[in-house]
Amino acid sequence: SQQGEEDPQALSIQEGENATMNCSYKTSINNLQWYRQNSGRGLVHLILIRSNEREKHSGRLRVTLDTSKKSSSLLITASRAADTASYFCATDGSTGNQFYFGTGTSLTVIP
Amino acid sequence: DADVTQTPRNRITKTGKRIMLECSQTKGHDRMYWYRQDPGLGLRLIYYSFDVKDINKGEISDGYSVSRQAQAKFSLSLESAIPNQTALYFCATSGGWEETQYFGPGTRLLVL
């Protein structure tokens, strides 16, 4: 399986704190994406980082990518209760035709 | 996302029954995907289609079949449902130069 893994599996923080979650993957990639899923609902795209990029920002989100270590991290700054959700990384694998999702990090932000 | 719809939203069926899950999109995207989600395993790709005449197996296609009836419609069939196909099923689309996937709301399937 080319499925990646997120770490930690679950994370609980206080509102206002920063949340960091990590993703490791197995093959070379063209890009890596992060998605968010509210309980039992469809995934929503957050941010995409290409293999030739090292860092990308979007609002309160900061994503880093280290292709030598086959890893990425997602930082959510100044977290809010509404950020409570599961977060998944997805890579396009070596062919670019398929997407491989990680196992997800469940984030709980306590008001 | 209202642009990608899935029917039914919930389905209970018995072992051995044939069922079909349907996906429709109004985004005009050429690429469509079917995933299943199991607790602790993330999403796994079942089938994908890059246009009406193109169907490809994903990571876990055994026990499933698909039909791309039109650019906007992509159906997933379980020919003879078994209990370990109980899962949450998602349809997704992407199109053009855009690599982002847009997901439907999901179909929760229970096979008894």
Give per-residue pLDDT as tens, A34-74. 999 998 788 999 999 999 999 999 999 999 999 999 999 99
Question: CB neighbours (10 Å) of residue A35?
Answer: 25
Q: How many CB atoms lie within 10 A of CB B17?
A: 13
Q: Nearest Cβ partner of B59 from A1, A41, A48?
A: A1
Contact A42 B108 (CB under 8 A): no
Q: Please, what's the b/e burial string for B24-45 (b: 16 or more CB within 10 A of its CB; e: otherwise)?
A: bbeeebebbbbbbbeeeebbbb
Residue A48: its chain B contacts at CB < 8 A?
99-100
Chain A residue closest in CA terms to B39: A103
* pLDDT at residue B33 in the model: 96
Predicted pLDDT at B98:
72
Mean pLDDT within B83-105: 91
The reply to whether residue B56 touches residue A97, judged by beta carbons under 8 angstroms, is yes
Chain B closest-CA separation from residue A87 CA (Å): 10
SS3 A83: helix
Percent of chain A with pLDDT over 70: 94
A44–B1 CB contact, under 8 Å: yes
Which residues 81-100 of chain B have a CB within 8 Å of chain A?
A: 88, 90, 92, 99-100
Q: Which of A2, A43, A102 sits opposite B103 (nearest CB)?
A: A43
pLDDT in tens, A64-91: 999 999 999 999 999 999 999 999 999 9
Q: What is the DSSP letter of A79?
A: -
pLDDT tens digits for range B27-80:
999 999 999 999 877 899 999 999 999 999 998 999 999 999 999 999 999 999
Return mean pLDDT, chain A: 91
Q: For the residues of chain B, what is the DSSP string, one character each?
A: -TTEEEE-SEEEE-TT--EEEEEEE-S--SEEEEEEEETTTEEEEEEEEEETTEEEE-TT-TTEEEEEEETTEEEEEESS--GGG-EEEEEEEE-TT----EE---EEEEE-
State the Cα–Cα distance between residues B37 and A13, nearest whole angstrom.
Answer: 26
| pLDDT at residue A18 tops 60 | yes
pLDDT at A99: 84
The residues facing B12 across adjacent strands are B110
How close is the nearest chain B Cα to the Cα of A94, in Å? 14
Contact residues for A27 (Cβ-Cβ < 8 A; gap 6+): A2, A70, A91, A93, A94
Cβ neighbour number for residue B112 with a 10 Å cutoff: 10
At residue B2 the predicted structure's pLDDT band, cuts being 50, 70 and 90, is low
